[in-house]
């Protein structure tokens, strides 16, 4: 009888371990790469759960895009540069995500930091990328957001609150998981 | 068919045989439980049933994330139950162990899980050997021999991985086969005494055995065809890329010739009117949809880069295309450059009349397309093909992301001497199985020639071998399940007739 109890306890512990891994998407085991995505708890929390700093910038077509116009629907804001290979990989990932998920419930906005418009424009055209690019040529918005180790992605809900921050390149799977958070905190979108 | 795919198929069949052997032992135990209803009897059945489930997961190569962790859970629980069963069956002298069996956390991955499995097999072998010496039952010989072979197979598994398929892998699978065969022999020795009662087990096992053999044969034939088709497609893909690049070279040359002949550019260069030159080049860069466009003076110093206005004053006279243009000749080639890196570069001289009405080469226009990741991404959007570009033996651009889904392997060098010899030295295409950054690919390579007829680099189209293996495994799963169902259905009438005849006898 004693044996049965011990066996049952062992099976329960093992099953709980497997279930935990399944629920967390095996995120208890992290792959160490050169581009690391931190969880929200390890980011300096100055911007988390607070309103996104305002901005008003031109895109490559010289249209003015301001934060106030973006609020009302969830979106992600990725800071990047063309000279950073990791950041250009992020652009590729975001562009492919945009083309594969036309019906997604959040917008993808990228913000180029401190580069000449001609350089950025050429890069976007050569790659045939369709994502939206805002130009922060003097770097003031980059400073305001505290985006230092590019690429950095801010997940902002429909109320303009920053719900998550990812430093480094995020892959498609992580993008889907993290964006679910900003969609779930934007109930007007789900109606 | 390549050795890799043949061994993969043998692995599939062998693991299924193991699943059948374990299933047969579990069946016997459950059968015995109908009469002797105690934990000792059922524990053996549960243990071998879990091992059978593990073998099926392992056979179908369902090794990713949840299935991998789930499979190893079944593996270790199964071994645990068998150990408990053997301890329960020999209650007089339970062996005492100073060390306890520790199941490592899954985060320590396969290496430690395989060590635990090997230790469990060794323990089962020792316990069953002790039982054999106590009870002096000859029927137990194939049982402990089977677990001895499985222990040896598990030891080899610790040091070999699914992608290695080397001597250790072969040795490990050889011992596994010996272990499954021995266990199967042990089951058969029981069945011989009780053929009538065990007829269902015999028919089911035979049906599944035949299904495994049929699956092996058909998938071997199929895989040979898939591999040959993949190789042909890869070579075609890389030739399509070469065609695209050749067209771009022609386009760059035609456009730079056209722009260099424009009077407004000649005038701006002749008068050193840099604002006008900047405005013109920026406009033409946009209108002509070029990757880059720049003007250099007669010494080769960069006056304007329309694609990067702040980068100028460096000297490009040492580059082949620029050098030709400064000597009055148009040229197009693929070569590296400090500014635009590895790129398609077309150059044309800009001529104008000097004060003495002599036509001189006052400078040059250089236009083209950088062969970088953005370029590769664009080609992929147009053609749908995964491609890579090499400057000599160094990867400079690729559309292939690493398994992490975030990074590309740009900057790494090809170390396969077959590729370097055939493509970069002899200038001939090659399709080959190769390892890049610890991943195995089936890849086609084509040389890129520069204007001197030298081989400046390579184009490559590749498919990760894992994708082909995934196709093979999916085919095996479908074939086995279909054939097994058919065999079981078709063998049902034969079973009933045999049972009827044997009961009448």
Give B242-263 pLDDT, tens digit per residue. 998 999 999 999 999 999 999 9
Q: How far apart are CA A109 and CA A130, in angstroms?
A: 11
Question: Which residues, 6+ apart, have CB-to-CB distance to B390 below 8 Å?
Answer: B396, B414, B457, B458, B459, B460
Residue B99 pLDDT > 60:
no
* Chain A CB within 8 Å of residue B53 CB: no
Pick from B447, B483, B481, B473: which is nearest to B219 by CA? Answer: B473
Tokens of B201: 């087990």
Q: What is the nearest CA distance from B65 to chain A, expressed in angstroms?
A: 7
Interface contact A17-B88, CB threshold 8 A:
no
Centroid of chain to Cα B327 = 50
Among B291, B370, B408, the residue with its CB nearest the CB of A89 is B408
Structure tokens at A162: 């920053």
Grade residue A110 by pLDDT with cuts at 50, 70 and 90.
very high
Residue B471: pLDDT over 70 = yes
pLDDT tens digits, one per residue of A78-106 = 999 998 999 999 999 999 999 888 887 88
Tokens standing for residue A67: 């934060």
Q: Grade residue A11 by pLDDT with cuts at 50, 70 and 90.
A: confident
Q: How far is it, in rounded angstroms, from Cα A126 to Cα B289?
A: 9
Sort out which chain A residues have CB atoms less than 8 A from B406's CB and list them.
Answer: 33, 35, 86, 89-90, 93, 168-171
| Residue range A31-45, pLDDT digits in tens | 433 334 444 434 444
pTM of the complete model beyond 0.90:
no
Q: How confident is the model at residue B369 (pLDDT cuts 50, 70, 90)?
A: very high
d(CA A92, CA A172): 11
Q: What are phi and psi of B274, to 5 degrees?
A: -65, -40
**CA angle at B220 for the pair B215 and B223, rounded to the nearest 5°:** 115
> Does A108 have pLDDT greater than 90?
yes
Token readout for B27 is 């069946």
Comparing CA positions, the residue from A154, A162, A72 lying closest to residue A108 is A154
Q: Quick check: A173 and B405 CB within 8 A?
A: yes
Q: Per-residue pLDDT averaged across A12-18, rounded?
A: 74
Q: What is the pLDDT of residue A42?
A: 42
- Answer whether A127 sits within 8 Å of B374, measured CB to CB: yes
Q: Which residues of B touch A125 (CB under 8 A)?
A: 289
Helix axes A2-23, B65-89, angle to 10 degrees: 170
Q: What is the pLDDT of residues B3-17, one digit of tens each?
A: 777 777 788 888 888
Q: Do A123 and B374 touch (CB under 8 A)?
A: yes
Six-digit token string for A92: 């590729």
| Residues of chain B neighbouring A127 (CB-CB closer than 8 A) | 373-375, 377-378
Q: Are B173 and B10 in contact (CB under 8 A)?
A: yes
**ipTM summary value:** 0.73
Whether B64 and chain A come into contact, CB under 8 Å, resolves to no
Residues 6+ away with beta carbon under 8 Å from B7: B165, B169, B170
| Residue A125: partners with Cβ closer than 8 Å, 6 or more residues away | B289
Q: Which positions in chain A touch B309 (Cβ < 8 Å)?
A: 116, 118
Alpha helices in B261-316 (DSSP H): 263-270, 274-287
pLDDT (average), residues B174-180:
90
For residue B347, give the H/E element and its range. Answer: strand B343-353
Q: pLDDT tens digits for B146-161? A: 999 999 988 888 776 5
Cα B69 from Cα B504, distance rounded (Å): 50
- Identify all chain B residues contacting A14, using CB atoms and an 8 Å cutoff: 73, 76-77, 103
pLDDT at A64 over 80: yes
Does the distance separating the beta carbons of A29 and B378 come in below 8 Å?
no
The runs of H, that is alpha helices, within A28-137 are 67-70, 85-100, 117-127
Of B260, B366, B259, B367, the C-alpha closest to B317 is B366
**Lowest-confidence region among B188-197, B208-217, B449-458, B485-494:** B188-197
Per-residue pLDDT at A38: 45
CA distance B335 to B357: 35
Question: Which of A46-55, A112-121, B295-304 is modeled with the greatest confidence?
Answer: B295-304
Phi/psi zone of residue B101: left (φ > 0), alpha (ψ -120 to 50 degrees), beta? beta
Tell me the CA end-to-end span of chain B in Å, nearest whole number: 50
What residues in B contact A11, CB-CB < 8 Å? 77
pLDDT in tens, B26-41: 988 888 887 777 788 8
Q: Using an 8 Å Cβ cutoff, are B347 and B341 in contact?
A: no
For residue A104, give both structure tokens: 């997604």
């Amino acid at each position: 009888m004693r044996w049965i109890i011990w066996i049952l306890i062992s099976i329960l512990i093992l099953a709980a371990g497997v279930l935990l891994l399944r629920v967390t998407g095996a995120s208890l085991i992290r792959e160490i790469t050169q581009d690391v995505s931190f969880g929200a708890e390890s980011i300096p929390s100055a911007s988390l759960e607070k309103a996104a700093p305002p901005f008003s910038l031109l895109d490559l077509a010289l249209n003015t895009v301001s934060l106030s116009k973006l609020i009302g629907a969830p979106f992600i804001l990725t800071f990047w540069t063309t000279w950073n290979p990791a950041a250009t990989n992020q652009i590729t990932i975001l562009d492919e995500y945009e083309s594969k998920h036309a019906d997604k419930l959040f917008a993808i906005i990228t913000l180029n930091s401190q580069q000449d418009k001609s350089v950025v424009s050429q890069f976007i055209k050569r790659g045939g990328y369709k994502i939206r690019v805002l130009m922060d040529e003097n770097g003031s918005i980059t400073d305001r957001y505290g985006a230092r180790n590019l690429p950095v992605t801010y997940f902002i809900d429909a109320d303009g609150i920053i719900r998550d921050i990812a430093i480094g390149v995020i892959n498609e799977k992580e993008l889907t998981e993290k964006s679910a958070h900003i969609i779930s905190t934007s109930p007007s979108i789900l109606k | 068919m390549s050795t890799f795919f043949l061994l993969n198929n043998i692995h599939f069949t062998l693991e299924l045989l193991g699943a059948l052997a374990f299933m047969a032992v579990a069946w016997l135990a459950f059968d015995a439980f109908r009469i002797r209803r105690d934990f000792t009897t059922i524990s053996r059945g549960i243990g071998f049933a879990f091992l059978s489930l593990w073998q099926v997961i392992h056979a179908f190569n369902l090794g990713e994330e949840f299935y991998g962790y789930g499979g190893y859970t079944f593996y270790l629980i199964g071994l645990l139950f068998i150990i408990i069963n053997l301890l329960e069956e020999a209650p007089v002298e339970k062996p005492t162990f100073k060390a306890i069996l520790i199941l490592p956390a899954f985060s320590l991955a396969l290496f430690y899980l395989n060590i635990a499995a090997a230790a469990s097999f060794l323990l089962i072998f020792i316990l069953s050997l002790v039982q054999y010496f106590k009870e002096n039952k000859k029927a137990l010989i194939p049982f402990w021999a089977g677990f001895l072979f499985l222990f040896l197979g598990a030891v080899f598994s610790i040091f070999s991985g699914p992608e290695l398929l080397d001597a250790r892998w072969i040795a490990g699978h050889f011992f596994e086969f010996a272990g499954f065969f021995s266990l199967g022999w042990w089951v058969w020795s029981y069945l011989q005494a009780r053929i009538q009662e065990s007829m269902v087990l015999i028919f089911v096992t035979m049906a599944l055995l035949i299904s495994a053999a049929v699956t092996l044969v058909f998938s071997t034939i199929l895989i040979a065809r898939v591999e040959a088709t993949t190789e042909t497609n890869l070579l075609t893909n890389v030739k399509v890329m070469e065609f695209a690049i050749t067209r771009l070279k022609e386009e760059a040359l035609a456009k730079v010739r056209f722009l260099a002949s424009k009077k407004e550019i000649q005038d701006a260069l002749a008068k050193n009117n840099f604002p006008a030159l900047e405005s013109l080049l920026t406009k033409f860069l946009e209108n002509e949809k070029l990757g880059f466009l720049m003007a250099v003076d007669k010494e080769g110093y960069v006056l304007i880069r329309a694609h990067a206005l702040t980068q100028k004053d460096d000297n490009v006279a040492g580059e082949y295309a620029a050098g030709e243009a400064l000597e009055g000749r148009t040229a197009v080639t693929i070569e590296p450059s400090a500014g635009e890196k590895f790129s398609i570069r077309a150059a044309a001289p800009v001529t104008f009349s000097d004060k003495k009405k002599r036509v001189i080469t006052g400078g040059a226009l250089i236009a083209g397309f950088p062969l970088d990741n953005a370029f590769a991404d664009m080609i992929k959007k147009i053609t749908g093909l995964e491609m890579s570009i090499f400057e000599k033996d160094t990867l400079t651009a690729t559309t292939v992301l690493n398994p992490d889904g975030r990074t590309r392997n740009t900057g790494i060098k090809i170390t396969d001497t077959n590729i370097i010899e055939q493509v970069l030295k002899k200038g001939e295409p090659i399709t080959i199985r190769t390892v890049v950054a610890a991943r195995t690919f089936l890849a086609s390579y084509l040389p890129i020639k520069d204007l001197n007829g030298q081989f400046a680099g390579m184009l490559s189209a590749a498919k990760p071998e894992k994708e082909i293996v995934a196709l093979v495994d999916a085919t095996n799963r479908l074939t086995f399940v279909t054939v097994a169902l058919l065999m079981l259905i078709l063998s049902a009438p034969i079973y009933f007739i045999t049972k009827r005849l044997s009961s009448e006898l």
